[in-house]
Every structure is written in C-alpha cells, then in structure tokens.
Structure 1
Amino acid sequence: MGGRAKPLSPLTRWYIYAIHGYFCEVMFTATWAFVAERDWKFQGVTSVWALFIYGTSSLVLERMYLLLRGRCPLLSRCLCYTLWIYLWEFATGYLLRRFDACPWDYSHFRYHLMGLVTLEYALFWFLGSLLLEKLIIGNTLRLRLEGNEPPPSCCNGWGN
C-alpha cells in the first residue's frame, strides 16, 4: 500500500450528505403519501434544491457534532440539531420563495410559520438528526482514502 490514508475532503462529505438527504426525502414523501393517501405507487418527490440544502446543512451539523460531543449528552445535541434544522429550513425556504422556487409549503399544517416550517415535523427532524449523527456523520468521518498510489492499470482511462 502507498501513503497514509487521508480523511474525505469537505466536498466529498458534502456530496455524501447531500445524496443521503435527497434519498431520505424521497423515501419520506413516498411513505407519507402511502400512509396519508394509500398511494401504492410509492413515488417520492423532492427538488434539486434539496441537494444543496441537505449537503450544506449536514456539514454544519457535522461541525456541531464535533464541537458538542463530549460536552453535552446525545439528546441535548439532537435538540440543538433540530433547532438548527428548523432555522435552516426556514431560511432556505424564505430565500427560495423570493425566487418562486420553494418546493415545500406547510400552510395546510396547523402549527406552521409562514408555510416554511411546521412543528408537526419536530419528531421526524429530531429522530432524523439522531440517525444522521449515529449512522451518517460518524461513519462518514471515519472513511479514509488510500494514499497517492495510482489506480490499477485496468482503471486508468475511460473504460480501457
């Protein structure tokens, strides 16, 4: 083996977080439609904006995790994460709405703020942040790339 294994770059971690968030949103909306409307097609929906929203927010949550672990208990961290998620969802939704590009509208929920966030999702965001810390952020931070060794000769080009 070559040089020392290096941690993933922030851009690579952002990509992992973005894809994870995108996938989770599609699965959540499909499940929600199934439960609420008995939609057996199980078709989830999302927006291209979700990649930026989830990737960027998760990098902030990663930083929060690194700062808070060892300083406060897990449930307190998840509460902090949930508060951040609400702030981020409101801010990005508000900005996107300015360009008529906000893909969500919670106006039909009872406890919403300007249709951009809703308290009805608090438990989902709390549990999601718990899973994000324990399964995604923790494992992503442990991933390493091999040193500067070139790839095998079979993989040096575009399919040769």
Structure 2
Amino acid sequence: MIKKFLTCGVVGWCLEIIFTAACTMKKHDIRLKGNTSLWMFPIYGMAVLLQPLSRLLKDKPLLLRGSVYTVCIFVTEFITGRLLQKKHACPWDYSEAPLNIDGVIRLDYAPCWFGTGLLYEYILNTMH
C-alpha cells in the first residue's frame, strides 16, 4: 500500500505540474512553468483509497466509474482544502473562479477529475 500511496502522490504532482504549465499558455507564457505544493503529495497519495472502490465498480460502465471517482475527488478536495484554509496553508484559491464552492472546489474541473480518477484506477489495478 505504501508503494501505491507514493505512486499516486508522484502521479498527482506530475499531473498538476503539467496542468498548471499548460494553463500558462492562455497568457502566452511560452516558459510553461508549472507548479505544485508539498501539501499536495499526501492529498494525491490518498488516491490509493480509490482501489477498494474500483474493485466494487469493476463491472460497471466507464461513465459511472468516472463519475463516482469525480465525486470522491471533489469530497477529498473540499475537506482537505477547508482544513488547510483553517491553517492558512491552502495552496489553491478558486474564490475568483466561476463555479467554485468555498474557494476550494471548481465544478468546471469535473472532466479533469473524471479522467484523473480513471487514470488512478488503471494505475492502481495494474500495480503489483
């Protein structure tokens, strides 16, 4: 389980760096500088908890599985975001974005979390 936790943490970090770098293209910044936070490693590492759920969902349609993972990720993002906000340590602030909830969730990120959940499902179920 530790190996899978570490893998999920590293994968999450990499995805976040790629995503934030890609977002700089909107500002025509060709340096493509991505970023993340040390706080994100254990948060992404918690994706290991999706594996037991993925076993329950293994015969279900892709749309259902991805939707369930999206909800799980939103719940995790909300709880960890609120806890980190209380300590003034939350590395993300969506309060200016449309479709945000308490500045810690962006509903328009649902497609990203859908894909991320399915990616974690694949990674976790193919690791030994």
Q: Give the corresponding residue for 2:17.
A: 26
Deviations 1:27-81 (A, max 9, x none): 11001112x211111111110011100001x1111121122212x2221011000
One-letter amino acid of the counterpart of residue 55, structure 2:
L
Normalised to the residue count of structure 2, the TM-score between the two structures is: 0.94
Q: Aligned equivalents of 1:12 and 1:113: distance in 2?
A: 33
Gaps of 5+ in 2: none
Q: Aligned equivalents of 2:99 and 2:31: distance in 1?
A: 29
Alignment of 1:2-21 (within 5 A): 10-21=1-12
Give 3-state SS (helix, strand or coil) of 1:89's partner: helix
Give 3-state SS (helix, strand or coil) of 2:53's partner: helix
Q: Give the corresponding residue for 2:58.
A: 69
Q: Give the corresponding residue for 2:79.
A: 91
Q: Aligned equivalents of 2:6 and 2:88: distance in 1?
A: 26
Q: Aligned equivalents of 1:139 and 1:38: distance in 2?
A: 38
Q: Give the corresponding residue for 2:37.
A: 47
Q: Give the corresponding residue for 1:149.
A: none
Counting aligned pairs with the same residue, the percent is 36
Q: What is the number of equivalent residue pairs in this alignment?
A: 128
Q: Aligned equivalents of 2:126 and 2:28: distance in 1?
A: 35
- Which 4+ runs in 1 deviate beyond 3 A? none
Task: Report whether the alignment pairs 1:78 with 2:66.
Answer: yes
Q: What is the RMSD computed on CA atoms of the aligned residues?
A: 1.1
Q: Aligned equivalents of 1:47 and 1:108: distance in 2?
A: 20
Give 3-state SS (helix, strand or coil) of 2:71's partner: helix
Q: Aligned equivalents of 2:121 and 2:48: distance in 1?
A: 11
Gaps of 5+ in 1: 1-9, 144-160
